[in-house]
A and B are shown apart, each in its own frame.
Chain A
Amino acid sequence: MNKISKKSNSGEVDASLRVPLLALFGGAAFWLVVSSVLAMIASIKFHAPDFLANCPWLTYGRVQPAADDALLYGFCIPAGLGVALWLFAQLGRAPLRGAIVPVVAAKLWHLGVLVGLTGILSGNSTGFAWLEFPRAGSIILLFAYLLLALWAMMNFAARRERALFPSHWFLVAALFWFPWIYSTANLFLVAWPVRGVVQAIIGWWFAGNLLFVWLALVGIGTAFYFLPKFSGRPLQSYYLALFAFWTLILFGTWCGIPPGAPVPAWMPVLSSFAAVLTVVPVLAVAAIAWQTLCGSTNCEPKGGPFCFIRFGLMSFVLSSLMLIAMACPRISQVTEFTWFGPAQTQLQLYGFFAMTMFGAIYYLLPRAVGFELPFPKLARLQFWLSMFGVLLFIVPLAIGGVEQGMKLNNPNIAFMDATKAMLPFLRTSTIGLLLILLGNSLFALNIFAMTFVWEKSLVKKAFTVVTAPLEKPSASASLRRDQGEVKV
C-alpha cells in the first residue's frame, strides 16, 4: 500500500471505490464460477449424452448458452465496468462521489443476470445468440448499466487531472457503445421484432459489436493503463494508440456477418472487407504492446498481474486473427458451422478479456480495499490453471474444427463419421474446462476472502469505536471519520 499512498489523494480515491468495486467483483466472481460449472455440465454431455437427460433445466441447448451468458454478462461486463470506474478515478485523481449509486447498480446488474439465467434455464430464452436473456432480465441489465455508466461519466467529468490518456478514449467509448447496441438489439429483436432474416442480421451486428468491439475497447483500454505501469516507460506511442483506437471502432463495428449467410450479398461482402481491414488495429495494438514492454526498465516487479495482462494481449491478437480468418470466404467455407467458432469465442472472452480483468483486479483490489490479497500464491496458481485451461480448451477445438470442416465439405464422408471424429477433441476440451473451473474457483476464493477480511475489519473498527472513551476531542474526531467510512 505504501507505493500508492505516496501521492496526495490516492488513498482517498481508492477508499471511495472500495464498496462499489467489492459489489461488482464479488458478484462477477460468483457468476464466473457458475459459468464454468454450467460449461462443465454441457461438456460432459459429449462423454455421455444421457447425462442429466431427464432434467429440462440442464439440457445442452439451455446449459451451453447459460454458461456463455454467465461468463459474458455475469463476469466480463461487471468486471470491465469496475475496472473502468477505478481507472477513471485513478487517472483523473478524483474520488468517486455518491458511491451508494454504483453499489445499488452493481446489485441490480447481478440481479438482472440472475433473472436472465433463470429465464434461459427455464426455457424462456429469446433464441438469439448472446441475447438469450428474457425481457425482464435485459431491462434490469440496461438500467443498471446506465446507472453505472452515468456515475463513471460524472467521475470522468469531475476529474482533477484534466489531461486525457489513451485508456480514457477506449473506456469512454465502451461506456457509450453498450447501451446503444444493447437497446437496439432488444428493441428490434425482442420488444418489436423485425421480420424475417433482418433479425439474424441485427443479431450478428449486435454480437460482433459486443464480443469484438466492446470487449476490445475495455480490455485494450485497461491494458494500455497497465503496460506503462509494468514496464516503467510511457505507452509507445500516443499517436499509434490514437490510430489503433480509430481504426478499431471504424472497422471493427462492421464485422460479424458470416460470408455464407442467406442474406443479400452486399452485407457479407462489406462485413468481410471490414474484417480484413481490422487487421490494422490488431497489429497496431500488438506493436504498441511490444514496443512498450521491450526495453522496459522493470521498475515494478513482474509476475502476478503482469503475466495475466501479457497473456491477455497475446490472446487478443490471436483471437482477432482467428476472427478475421473466419470472415474470409475461402477459409469460412471450411470453418463455418464448425467448432472453430466456439474456440475463437472462448479465446476472446476468456483468454483475452477475462485474463486481462484478472490481472487488473489482482492489482487494483488490494489497493482499493486496503488489504493484501489473502492468498497471493493461489492467485499465481490461478494464472497457470487458467492459461493451460484455456489452451487445452481452444487448441483441440480449433484443430478439430478445421478437420471437421474439411470432412463436412467432403460429401463422401458420412455426417456421423465427421461428428464422431470430433468427439476426442471435445473430450480433451473438457479437461481444459476443468482447469478453468479450478482457476475460477481460486479467483472467487481470493475475492470472497478479501470481502470477508474487510467486513471483519469493519466490525472490529465499529466495535472499538463504540467501546472507546469519548472524553478526548481527538478521539471524537476520529470517531466521526470512522463512522463516515462505515456508512459508505
Chain B
Amino acid sequence: MKNGALIFLAVFVALGGSWCGFVLAPELQLGGAKQTTILNSSDVYPVGRPGEATQGSSVYRANGCAVCHTEQVRQTGITCEVVLTDAGKTPAAVTKVCVDIGVNMTDRTWPLPLPKTILTGLTKEEADAASGKITTAGGKVEIHIAATGPDIARGWGMRQSVAEDYLYDQPVQLGSLRAGPDLANAGARADANWQLLHLYAPKSVMKGSTMPPFRYLFEVRKIGREPSPDALKLPPEFAPHAGYEVVPTPEAMELAAYLSSLRATAPLYSAPIAP
C-alpha cells in the first residue's frame, strides 16, 4: 500500500461492513419491534414497568449492579411431556395405543385418575407423534413444554431470555459476569421487602453472601414519636442500637421496586413453553 488514501479505503471497507452488519442491520430488524402476543393468550408482552420501578432501573444503573449481575437466562433445550386428559369413548383403544407407544402400564387402575402424565422427557417431534396417535384413537392429550438447562434448574427462570424481554429497558443492562446470581426473574423469587433487607445487610437474609452492603441507600435515625412504617425489621445482630431504626431512602425503595418488577416468564413464539 503506497498512500494514505488506500489505508482509508481499507478502513472504510472493513469497518463500514461491520457497521452495516452490527449497527444498521440490527436496527432495521429490531429497531421497530412492537409488543408481541403471549402464546395461547390475547395479552401483549412486554408491558412497561411501573413508574417507581422505572426510576429504580436508573438506581440500578448508577450503582453499577450490572457489573456483577446478569439479566439473561440461558437454556440448552426443551423437554416435552404428554398428559392424557380424557380417555374418550373407547378407553380400550386408547390403552392399546398407549401400550404401543411404550407407556408404563403397571398401574391397575389405568388410566384413572385423569389427567395423567403418561410420557416425559420427549422431544417436540416425539410428543407430537404420540399425541397424534392417541387423538386418532379417541383420547385427548395436552403437551407440556419446559425449558432445560442449568439456569432453569437453578430456578433463575422458566425459559431463556429473548430480545422481546428488553423492549422497554433504558439502558438495556444485560451484564456479562455472574459474581452474583442472575436477576432476569428476581421479582419472581423475592418481594420488595426481602430486597430491602438484602440491600442493607446481605448476610441477614443470605448467609455467606459476598455482596457488598448498600448502607448508603438507607438512613439510620432515632425513632421519633412512633416508628416509621417503612423501617426494616432486621434480625438482632444486624439491627442498629436501641432507639434507632433503619429507614430506606427513596432510591432504595425504587431499586427494590425495580428488582421485584424483574420477571420474564411469559411464553412467546420465540421461546415457547407450556407449563
Residues of chain A touching chain B, judged by Cβ–Cβ distance below 8 Å, are: 45-46, 49-51, 53-56, 59-62, 64-65, 123-129, 153, 156-157, 164, 168-169, 172-173, 176-177, 180-181, 184, 188-189, 193-202, 204-205, 209, 242, 245-246, 249-250, 253-254, 256-258, 260-264, 267, 270-271, 333, 336-339, 341-342, 408-411, 415-416, 419-420, 422-423
Out of B15, B163, B175, B208, which one reaches A180, CB within 8 Å? B15
Alpha-carbon distance A102/B70, docked complex (angstroms)? 41
Alpha-carbon distance A189/B23, docked complex (angstroms)? 11
Judge whether B64 and A253 touch: CB under 8 Å: no
Give the residues in chain B near A168, CB-CB below 8 Å: 7
How many Å from the CB of B8 to the closest CB on chain A?
6
Judge whether B11 and A126 touch: CB under 8 Å: no
Give the residues in chain B near A333, CB-CB below 8 Å: 74, 76
B153 within 8 A of A: yes
Give the residues in chain A near B209, CB-CB below 8 Å: 49, 416
Judge whether A197 and B172 touch: CB under 8 Å: yes
Judge whether B18 and A198 touch: CB under 8 Å: no
Contact A129-B23, Cβ < 8 Å, known A56-B216, A260-B74: no
B1 within 8 A of A: yes
Alpha-carbon distance A130/B212, docked complex (angstroms)? 23
Give the residues in chain A near B179, CB-CB below 8 Å: 339, 419, 422
B243 within 8 A of A: no
How many Å from the CB of B108 to the closest CB on chain A?
35
Out of A123, A173, A254, which one reaches B22, CB within 8 Å? A254
Judge whether B31 and A194 touch: CB under 8 Å: yes
B159-218 CB contacts (< 8 Å) to partner A: 160-163, 165-181, 202, 206, 208-216
4 tightest CB-CB pairs across the interface, nearest first? A61-B64, A411-B153, A123-B62, A127-B61
Q: 7 A-B pairs, CB-CB below 8 angstroms?
A: A61-B65, A188-B23, A257-B22, A260-B72, A262-B163, A339-B177, A342-B177
B30 within 8 A of A: yes
User: Please, what's the 1-or-0 string for B102-117, where 1 marks a CB less than 8 Å from any CB in chain A?
Assistant: 0000000000000000
CB nearest neighbor in A for B22:
A205
CB nearest neighbor in B for A181:
B15
Judge whether A123 and B15 touch: CB under 8 Å: no
Give the residues in chain B near A50, CB-CB below 8 Å: 212-213
Judge whether A209 and B150 touch: CB under 8 Å: no
Out of A60, A270, A338, A410, which one reaches B64, CB within 8 Å? A60
How many Å from the CB of A332 to the closest CB on chain B?
10
Judge whether A254 and B61 touch: CB under 8 Å: no
Listed residue (A65, A127, A169, A261) with the most chain B CB atoms within 10 angstroms of its CB? A127
Alpha-carbon distance A250/B27, docked complex (angstroms)? 22
Judge whether A49 and B211 touch: CB under 8 Å: yes
Give the residues in chain A near B165, CB-CB below 8 Å: 262
B48 within 8 A of A: no
Judge whether A416 and B208 touch: CB under 8 Å: yes
Judge whether A420 and B154 touch: CB under 8 Å: no
Give the residues in chain A near B175, CB-CB below 8 Å: 337
Give the residues in chain A near B210, CB-CB below 8 Å: 46, 49, 419-420, 423
Judge whether B15 and A242 touch: CB under 8 Å: no
B101 within 8 A of A: no
Contact A200-B174, Cβ < 8 Å, known A173-B11, A176-B11, A177-B11: yes
Alpha-carbon distance A319/B65, docked complex (angstroms)? 27
Alpha-carbon distance A223/B154, docked complex (angstroms)? 47
CB nearest neighbor in B for A62:
B64
Judge whether A127 and B66 touch: CB under 8 Å: yes
Judge whether A253 and B17 touch: CB under 8 Å: yes
Alpha-carbon distance A55/B213, docked complex (angstroms)? 10
How many Å from the CB of A354 to the closest CB on chain B?
21
Judge whether A202 and B22 touch: CB under 8 Å: yes
